[in-house]
Amino acid sequence: MAKGGVVRTVPVIDMQDFPAQSGKLMEACGEWGCFRIINHGIPPALMGEMKAVSRSLLDLPVEIKTRNSTLVQGKGYTPLNQASPVFEALGCYDLAEPGNLDQFLDQLCVSDPHQREIITAYSKAMYELGMDMGHKLLQGLGLSGDLFNGWPCQLRINKYNYTPEYVGSTGGLLHTDPGFLTILQDDEIVGGLEAVDKDTGEYISVEPMPGSLVVNLGDLAEIWSNGRLWSVKHRVQCYKGLIRLSIALFVLGPKDGALGAPEELVMFPLPSPSSLISPESIQSAMPPPDGEIDFGREEDEEEEEVEVVGSGEMKKRYAKQQGFAMAKRTSRKGKDGNLKNLTLQCSRGGKARVQDSNDVLAYWLPNTSTLLLLLQHTLKASGAASLTPQQRRTTSALGISCVLLMFHISGLGLVQVLGEGVGFFCCFVFMSTGGRWRCVVASVVAEAKIAVAAGRRRWRGGKGRGGADGGGGRRWWRRSPVVVALGSRPLSLALSSSILGTKEE
């Protein structure tokens, strides 16, 4: 818990002191992904009353608690289970949707108008706080707009049924929150929340601080921000043999599931993590809008085959933080002197922190976006392409969508794993830019799980696949192709662009 002899604690942000605390907020988001907020505007009396009401709901008989279900599976009652034998929770999905909170209260037979008022007032106040936090994050990144608009938020009240015998064991398993951010009223008396230190990997105890709230950033924040916001790993330990209660508001993600890094957050040259915290540093790290990017030795451009190894301290530090290293840029020129083919590649290195499909997504999206940006700028610099900003966005979005299709499939749990090995995934995008037809090939090599995408027309048992039911077999092949779903250890990613021909303008 100590770094250089100093006990580390998560940062504390004063919500009434903005914009002065904006830099501190962004540093907390980038370096910790977990911090406390004070002066957040939720009255202490309301926090206390909500805690009391939550306790009474979680003390209801299990027959009533199991009535708590939601349209989205897994967001209602979580009973005690083998993996978390002392943990249970009640949940209300999309609490801002009219009727949802009332339905939650009806399911739990809450007839006391006072209890209903408390939960309703608390949910509203927390929801507004979540939206406010979204604005502060956008401002801190030098962006404007309304990031969380229309995103569903889930209210969840957690109970840890600790006993003296359980002390020293884990009440809430190590995880990252899959959504964008979580605002948590933790237990004022029974601590136990622990955040993993981003640099050292140590567990840091997030000590109770009455009246404050904890904010945890989730996987979507890391993906959306292109790695600037850190999705913190955390767990809940049993420090005391007393019941522990916490109340979480999860800002989940957009309903249609599409979320990508804004163009402003995909930048070159790659800045160091610590220079990402101020809007000024982001502006200065942006590529010049129409200027050429210098990739290295100019004289190399004349050679038939050019290999430039990415260098520079900033790039290295960023690569280390992201767990990958920019490996190569290889280009080939045709007889007419024009660039015919360009390949950008990054390969896995640095620390291994990729564990599940969310992590894989969080890991690859920034890398893919960065490579696409490098590719676009190189095409521009070669004089072969003059894309409008709109075209540039479309190309980038197309490439990213293709490459990440796999992750979406595996992230949604639609994949049935058949085996493991080293897998290769490749996608082709044909496009016309600057009067030339080109083919962009994205390829990913990974230690992969060989899997079948099990969609609606999933192949069941031995039937259908070219067997007795031959027609069914064809259907299965059409709708559920064999895919290589990227597993836990991506090895390299490459983007290659080749000019196929020239069209008359």
Ligand X SMILES: O=C(O)CCC(=O)C(=O)O
Choosing among Fe ion, ligand X, none, which partner's interface includes residue 158 (Cβ < 5 to 8 Å by kind)?
Answer: ligand X
Verify binding: residue 53, ligand X, rule CB under 6 A: no
Verify binding: residue 186, Fe ion, rule CB under 5 A: no
Nearer to Fe ion, 34 or 448 (CB): 34
Helix (H) or strand (E) holding 221: helix 219-224
| 3-class secondary-structure state, position 280 | helix
Contact residue for ligand X among 27, 186, 222, 359 (CB under 6 A): 186
In order of 122, 362, 364, 367, the CA distances from 348 in angstroms are 45, 14, 10, 10
Token pair, residue 380, equals 């521009």
Verify binding: residue 172, ligand X, rule CB under 6 A: yes
Question: Cβ 480 to ligand X, closest distance in Å?
Answer: 33
Question: Cβ 301 to ligand X, closest distance in Å?
Answer: 52
Question: Please, which of residues 241-270 interact with ligand X by CB under 6 A?
Answer: 246, 248
Distance CA 505, CA 500 (A): 16
Nearer to ligand X, 49 or 88 (CB): 88
Choosing among ligand X, Fe ion, none, which partner's interface includes residue 378 (Cβ < 5 to 8 Å by kind)?
Answer: none
Interface segment toward ligand X; rule CB under 6 A; list 17-25, 125-133, 178-186, 348-356: 178-186
Nearer to ligand X, 208 or 269 (CB): 208
| 3-class secondary-structure state, position 209 | coil
Please state the separation of Cα 307 from the chain's center in Å. Answer: 33
Tell me the β-bridge partners of 443.
426, 494
Tokens 């939601």 belong to: 70
| 3-class secondary-structure state, position 125 | helix
Task: Choose among 182, 160, 191, 196: nearest CA to 84.
Answer: 160
Question: Cβ 147 to ligand X, closest distance in Å?
Answer: 21
Verify binding: residue 88, ligand X, rule CB under 6 A: no
Residue type, 437: W
Q: Does residue 261 contact residue 366 with C-beta atoms inside 8 Å?
A: yes
Question: Cβ 182 to ligand X, closest distance in Å?
Answer: 6
Verify binding: residue 194, Fe ion, rule CB under 5 A: no
Question: Cβ 94 to ligand X, closest distance in Å?
Answer: 17
Distance CA 205, CA 300 (A): 53
Verify binding: residue 177, ligand X, rule CB under 6 A: yes
| 3-class secondary-structure state, position 417 | strand
Helix (H) or strand (E) holding 217: strand 213-217
Distance CA 241, CA 166 (A): 7
Question: Cβ 206 to ligand X, closest distance in Å?
Answer: 8
Choosing among ligand X, Fe ion, none, which partner's interface includes residue 370 (Cβ < 5 to 8 Å by kind)?
Answer: none
Q: What is the DSSP string of 56-116?
A: HHHTS-HHHHTT---SSTTSS-B---SSSTTEEEEEESSTTSTTHHHHHHHHTT---HHHH
Interface segment toward ligand X; rule CB under 6 A; list 17-25, 182-190, 295-303, 320-328: 182-190
Of all residues in the shown chain, the one whose CB is closest to ligand X is 246
Question: Please, which of residues 118-177 interact with Fe ion by CB under 5 A?
Answer: 177
Question: Cβ 218 to ligand X, closest distance in Å?
Answer: 9
Verify binding: residue 184, ligand X, rule CB under 6 A: yes
Question: Cβ 385 to Fe ion, closest distance in Å?
Answer: 44
Question: Cβ 172 to Fe ion, closest distance in Å?
Answer: 7
Contacts of 70 (CB under 8 A, 6+ apart): 76, 91, 92, 93
Question: Cβ 38 to ligand X, closest distance in Å?
Answer: 17
Choosing among ligand X, Fe ion, none, which partner's interface includes residue 172 (Cβ < 5 to 8 Å by kind)?
Answer: ligand X
221-247 as b/e: b if 16+ CB within 10 A: bbbbbbbbbbbbbbbbbbbeebbbbbb
* Count of residues interacting with Fe ion (CB under 5 A): 1
Nearer to ligand X, 184 or 266 (CB): 184
Question: Please, which of residues 191-210 interact with ligand X by CB under 6 A?
Answer: 193
Under the rule (CB under 6 A), what is the footprint of ligand X? 158, 172, 177, 182, 184, 186, 193, 234, 236, 246, 248
Under the rule (CB under 5 A), what is the footprint of Fe ion? 177
